[in-house]
Amino acid sequence: MCQEKVLSLQNLSMSYGSKSVLNNINLDVYAGQIIGYIGPNGAGKSTTLKIMLGLIEEYSGTVELFGVDIATSGYSYKRKIGYVPENAELYDNLTANEYLTFIGELYGMDKSKAAAKAKNLMQQFDMEDVLHTRISSFSKGMRQKVLLISSLLHNPDLIFLDEPLNGLDANSVIIIKDILEQLVAEGKTIFYSSHIMEVVEKISNRIVLLKDGEIAADGTFEQLRKQNKQGSLESIFNQITGFDEHKQTAEKFVQIVTDGDYDE
Ligand SMILES: Nc1ncnc2c1ncn2[C@@H]1O[C@H](COP(=O)(O)OP(=O)(O)OP(=O)(O)O)[C@@H](O)[C@H]1O
């Protein structure tokens, strides 16, 4: 494995008011790694991503990207980062071409080169016929593809993906998984946050599980499987997060739904 350190979190902690969200996270990530960053709802995954993206500054500890401390390095490091947020706002009134060219320019690309590259990438997703159509008319999956293209247009070295397969059909999912594999083979580093365990299990070469703002597991899928004596990543996740009452919870939920006492 290539040993260039791309990302380093040292004693990273973060609180919202009196509520501690991240508690002393230490993590080194190397080029060519695709990290499956998983954890229960509210564990602190998005908060970590937002800190690394410079969107949240009220943390303690040190965040180094590409060997420099982001608190003191200015914003130039952001040009090497691509980001697919879980809930993205696209500019609905722009066409795909206008939006992608705009994003390319924000990342410092020449306008005509950004437009040409966007067109080429749209073609690969069979979307060339809607290049000049407003995003407002796009389906969920089409929007997601535009978002994925916008995050990769400037050829970033470090890519943060938060539920990147949202709304994509089965064929598109296969293409995206292949794209991620090939990007990693090119030496890119990917931080992949998702709740879809089968996909995380398949594409990640390292899995980091966050629980209550702390790293509860860190290793390859095989290592986690050996340590936890469990078959799938889903069952490892359930075991580490202490989740064993799903049947009872479901029974109670359905009991309340079907409880005649509430009916008129
Ligand atoms: N702006 C905010 N103000 C106060 N609390 C916040 C804020 N943003 C997040 N939190 C809290 O921080 C904790 C971690 O949230 P975060 O969004 O990082 O979790 P997550 O692991 O990404 O969850 P999910 O899987 O549901 O997306 C949660 O308890 C959340 O309520």
ipTM: 0.96
Cα 47 to its chain centre, rounded Å, is 12
Q: Do 189 and 2 contact (CB within 8 A), yes or no?
A: no
Nearest CA to ligand 1 atom 2: 16
Q: What is the pTM of this model?
A: 0.89
The amino acid sitting at 56 is I
CATH superfamily of the domain spanning 5-86+158-258: P-loop containing nucleotide triphosphate hydrolases (3.40.50.300)
Q: Is the pLDDT of residue 90 over 90?
A: no
Note the pLDDT tens digit of each residue in 102-142: 999 999 999 999 999 999 999 999 999 999 999 999 999 99
Average pLDDT over residues 144-169: 94
> Where in the chain are the domains?
5-86+158-258
Phi and psi at residue 9, in whole multiples of 5°? -105, 125
From 68-72, 84-88, 146-150, the region with the lowest mean pLDDT = 84-88
Over the chain, what is the mean pLDDT? 91
Residue of the CA atom closest to atom 6 of ligand 1: 16
**In this structure, how many other beta carbons lie within 10 angstroms of the beta carbon of residue 248?**
9
Residue 2 has pLDDT above 70, yes or no: no
Grade residue 89 by pLDDT with cuts at 50, 70 and 90: confident
Q: What is the CA radius of gyration of the chain?
A: 20
Question: Strand 206-211 relative to strand 19-30: parallel, antiparallel, unpaired?
Answer: unpaired
Q: 59 alpha carbon to ligand 1 midpoint, in Å?
A: 14
pLDDT tens for 224-255 read: 988 887 788 888 888 888 777 778 888 998 99
Q: Residue 61 in contact with residue 11, Cβ under 8 Å?
A: yes
Please tell me the distance from the alpha carbon of residue 27 to that of residue 170, in angstroms, as a whole number.
Answer: 33
Helices 140-152 and 111-124, packing angle to 10 deg: 130
Q: What is the mean pLDDT of residues 10-19?
A: 94
The atom number, within ligand 1, closest to the CA of 195 reads 25
CB proximity list for 264: less than 8 A, separation 6 or greater: none
Which residues have C-beta atoms less than 6 Å from ligand 1? Answer: 16, 21, 39, 41-47
pLDDT value at residue 128: 94
Substitution site in 12, 14, 16 for ligand 1 pocket (most atoms within 8 Å of beta carbon): 16
